[in-house]
Amino acid sequence: MKRDLCAIALFGVVLAAVAALSQSGVLLTFVMMSLYAALLSQAWNILGGYGGQLSFGHALFFGVGAYAQALGQLNLGLNPWLVLPGAIALGALVGVAVGGLTFRYGLKGSYFALVTLAFAEVFRILALSASFTGGGVGLMVPLQEGVANMQFGSRRGYIYLLLAFVLLALLVTAWLRHSRFGAYLQAVRDNEDAARAIGVNPLRVKLGGIALSAAFMSVAGAFYVQVFQYIDPGIAFGSAVSVEALVGAIVGGMGTLWGPLLGAVTLHALADLTRNLFGELPGISMVIYGVVLILIVMFMPRGITGGGQSLGRLFKTKERARV
């Protein structure tokens, strides 16, 4: 645990220093969007990686947090900092509600994945139909630049805010690796019947996992609203957010501390690179992006982190053989 805490602290200091010293708007934007993708992947990893409950509809919790953040400011006239805890709590409550409806009836695997996707789609349709969400037009949060309004004059402010959220997600993930609750969650992931036989309550453990996961997805949704000052049903509950969250965790390494962060940064760098190199050819950047993703999944099924660990063990074995 101490090693994880030291690594997390070092990561935070280094990234904060990069944000403070860099004068490149391109680099700051890359750092901000990479951290945003990392937060999505870390949130999904709590439930999908450590809990083994693969969700295709995590956009549901993202959208709840985003709309709660926007509506709290527009309809209730509250300060964004005051709205944020409520948005997080609402996202966690929705997670518990969805978990209660699915886990209680034993849904898991592909069934759970499809049900979460269906919930996200239902919420998207409801948001399109409701008047208070702005329907298909969406909601626009007014620009009121200032730290007190959670709207910063440069990318640095957003990076520091996002960095705080990502560090918190890393701390929670490190806690899951070493805590009793985390052991229960992983036991349920590996063999639910065996976990129940030793006294673990799978329903309670999975509800705790989905609540934590949904809370961090809601944070990402609230952050999105503050940065772009706009949200609509397609953005909030669309499949793009769910895919970005799960792909980053899968590519980086599910059920690991640094895998989702590494996967999110790698994929974001790859997307920017292919877009810049082949932007003049319509669709070619996405083709290259997809091919690379397929290769990573084929040849590194445990993600980049798992591949690195396998290489490390291979080198150690060779060194021992030489000795």
Query: What DSSP line would sit under 12-56, residue for residue?
Result: HHHHHHHHHH---HHHHHHHHHHHHHHHHHHHHHIIIIIS----S
Express each pLDDT in 105-119 by its tens digit. 888 888 999 999 999
Residue 217: closest CA among 123, 304, 143, 293: 123
Distance between alpha carbon 177 and the CA centroid of its chain, in Å? Answer: 18
The residue-averaged pLDDT of 124-137 equals 90
pLDDT at 307: 64
How far is the CA of 170 from the CAs of 30, 72, 167, 315, in angstroms? 20, 28, 5, 28
How far is the CA of 309 from the CAs of 17, 127, 159, 183, 313, in angstroms? 28, 44, 30, 21, 6
Q: Which residues pair with 139 in a beta bridge?
A: 231
The residue-averaged pLDDT of 44-71 equals 94
- Rounded to 5 degrees, what angle do the CA atoms 297, 302, 304 make? 75
Express each pLDDT in 254-268 by its tens digit. 989 999 999 999 888
Residue 136 one-letter amino acid: G
Express each pLDDT in 206-257 by its tens digit. 999 999 999 999 999 999 999 999 999 999 999 889 989 998 998 888 989 9
What pTM does this model have? 0.91
pLDDT at 268: 87
pLDDT at 308: 60
- What are the tokens at 232? 């609509």
DSSP one-letter string for 187-241: HHHH-HHHHHHTT--HHHHHHHHHHHHHHHHHHHHHHHHHHHSEE-HHHHHSHHH
Residue 223: closest CA among 58, 42, 65, 15: 65
Distance separating alpha carbons of residues 249 and 243, to the nearest angstrom: 10
- On whether residue 290 sits in a domain, the answer given is no
pLDDT at 270: 84
pLDDT at 108: 84
Residue 30: closest CA among 19, 41, 43: 19
Residue 151: closest CA among 73, 219, 62, 228: 228
* Cβ atoms 91, 221 nearer than 8 A: yes
- On whether residue 294 sits in a domain, the answer given is no
- On whether residue 296 sits in a domain, the answer given is no
Of the two residues 222 and 307, the one the predictor is more confident about is 222
pLDDT at 83: 95
Residue 315 one-letter amino acid: F
pLDDT at 267: 86
- What are the tokens at 267? 């994929």
Choice among 97-101, 219-223, 311-315 with the minimum mean pLDDT: 311-315
Is residue 320 very low, low, confident or very high in pLDDT (cuts 50, 70, 90)? low
3-state secondary structure of 89: helix
Is residue 302 very low, low, confident or very high in pLDDT (cuts 50, 70, 90)? confident
pLDDT at 285: 65
pLDDT at 61 over 80: yes
Residue 162 one-letter amino acid: L
DSSP one-letter string for 260-299: HHHHHHHHHHHHHHHHHHHTTSTTHHHHHHHHHHHHHHHH
Q: What domain range includes position 27?
A: 2-239
- On whether residue 184 sits in a domain, the answer given is yes
Express each pLDDT in 12-37 by its tens digit. 999 999 999 988 888 999 999 999 99
The residue-averaged pLDDT of 120-131 equals 93
Is residue 314 very low, low, confident or very high in pLDDT (cuts 50, 70, 90)? very low
pLDDT at 313 over 80: no
Greatest extent of the chain over all pairs of C-alpha atoms, in Å = 73
- On whether residue 255 sits in a domain, the answer given is no
- On whether residue 271 sits in a domain, the answer given is no
Cα radius of gyration (the chain)? 20
- On whether residue 280 sits in a domain, the answer given is no
Distance separating alpha carbons of residues 271 and 265, to the nearest angstrom: 10
pLDDT at 137 over 50: yes
Is residue 296 very low, low, confident or very high in pLDDT (cuts 50, 70, 90)? confident
pLDDT at 309 over 60: no
Mean pLDDT of the chain: 89
- Number of structural domains found in the chain: 1
- On whether residue 251 sits in a domain, the answer given is no
